[in-house]
Amino acid sequence: MKKLVFILTFFTISLLSFSQNIKQYNEIIDMQYYKAYYCKDIQTSSFVIYKMYKGGGETSRKGLNFKSYKNLQHYNYNKSGYDRGHLVPAEDMAYSEPSLKSTFYYINCVPQHPSMNRGPWSRYEELTRTISQTDSILVICGGCDYEGLIPKNCFKIVYNLRTRKCMYSIIISNDEKMIIIDEKKLKQKMPLSKALNLYNK
C-alpha cells in the first residue's frame, strides 16, 4: 500500500511539474520551409510550425553548422553540456539542400539534454516522419517552462491535415529522467485552427 501511495504521489508531482508555460513570441520569421516564432527573452524560438508530407531525404548535412539568423542573439552552447536540439529536424528537410540548410539556424534549436535529444526526442522525430509518409501533417514544437535560457521541458504536437485529428501531443522533461507525458492539454493551448492561423500569418 505504501509503495502504491509513493508511486501515485510521484506521478502527481511529475504531472504538476509540466506547467506548459510557452513563452510569448516577439517576431514571426518565415524560413520558407517552416515558421519560427522568435522570443527575445529566451534567445530562440518559442516554437516552430511546419507542414510535412513524405519527410526525409538523402541530402547530406556534411559541413553544415548552426549559425545566427540576422545577428539575433542565441544561447552559448560551448561547453554548456547541452545539445543544439533541432526543433525542425534536419532529416525532415533532407529532401533538398536549401530546405536542409534552413534548419541550421539557432532560431531552430533549443538547449536539450543529450539523453533527451538523442533518446525520446529523436524517436518521436522518426515517428513523425513515418506518419508523414502516408499523410500530410502539421507539426508544432518547442521548449516550455524555461529557467533562464534553458527549457525544463520540450513539447511536440502533430496534426493530421487530412483527418484534422491530433496524432499525438507530448511533453518530455529536458533532463536525464526523460519523463514523457501524453499531454492532452497541449491541444487546448494550440488547437489545429490556431496553429493554422499562425502558420498562415
**Tens digit of pLDDT for each residue in 109-148?**
999 999 999 999 999 999 999 999 999 999 999 999 999 9
Q: Which is more confidently placed, 184 or 40?
A: 40
d(CA 65, CA 71) in angstroms, rounded, equals 15
Domains in the chain (CATH in brackets) are 2-199 (3.40.570.10)
The pLDDT value given to residue 9? 36
Instruction: Write b or e for each residue in 173-197: b if 16 or more Cβ atoms lie within 10 A of its Cβ, otherwise e.
Output: bbeeeebbbebeebeeebebeebbe
**Tens digit of pLDDT for each residue in 85-112?**
999 999 999 999 999 999 999 999 999 9
Q: Binning pLDDT at 50, 70 and 90, where does residue 185 land? A: confident
Q: Binning pLDDT at 50, 70 and 90, where does residue 186 land? A: confident
Average pLDDT over residues 64-80: 96
**Tens digit of pLDDT for each residue in 11-68?**
333 333 445 689 999 999 999 999 999 999 999 999 999 999 999 999 999 999 999 9
Closest to 31 (Cα-Cα) out of 101, 122, 128, 131: 101
With beta carbons less than 8 A apart as the criterion, state whether 79 and 41 touch. Answer: no
d(CA 54, CA 123) in angstroms, rounded, equals 17
